[in-house]
Amino acid sequence: MQYVGNLPPVYVTTYDYERLTALADSCKSRHAALVDFLTEELERAELVAPREFEPDVVTMDSCARIVDHDTGEIRTVTLVYPGEEDSLCGKVSILTPMGVALLGLPKGVRMDWQTLDGRTKTITVLEVMDQPERHGRDLG
């Protein structure tokens, strides 16, 4: 996986960082390219304590409205862990290129990313509709 375009700032809770680092370590042999992308995002992220986290940033288990700039489609997605994904319900696994691109992305910020077949895609977070930290959940 390669980054495409300019990299926007990303923010990750310390709790998500710990869980995602462990996930990356356990999945490295099966999903090397995706794990590398995830690890690079985690390494460049600004880490924030869950209780201090801004409510308009995508965290694990957040529900957000996004726009796909290639198609113009507006979708509602929830960022989930592997095994919880369900494309019919808009649940996107963190172990997908789109999932990694969404992690830590603030409202209004655009992110370019590369699909597994090498195409470039661009998304923007329009709204973070639900975030666990906003309601006192996932506070580690």
pLDDT score at 132: 85
- Burial pattern 119-130, b for ≥16 Cβ within 10 A else e, equals eebebbbeebee
Give, in words, the CATH class of 11-131.
alpha beta
- pLDDT band at residue 137 under the 50/70/90 scheme: low
- Across the chain, how many H-helices and E-strands are there? 3, 7
pTM over 0.75: yes
CA 58 – CA 46 distance, rounded (Å)? 13
Strand-pair partners of 122: 112
Contact yes or no for 45/104 (Cβ under 8 A): yes
- The pLDDT tens digits for 48-98 are 998 899 999 999 999 999 999 999 999 999 999 999 999 999 999 999 999
Nearest to 113 by CA among 4, 38, 37: 4
Q: Within a 10 A sphere around the Cβ of 5, how many other Cβ atoms?
A: 11
Amino acid at 70: D
SS3 category, 6: coil
Among residues 107, 95, 108, 116, which one has the least CA distance to residue 41? 95
Return d(Cα 113, Cα 55) in angstroms, integer: 24
Q: Are 83 and 67 in contact (CB under 8 A)?
A: no
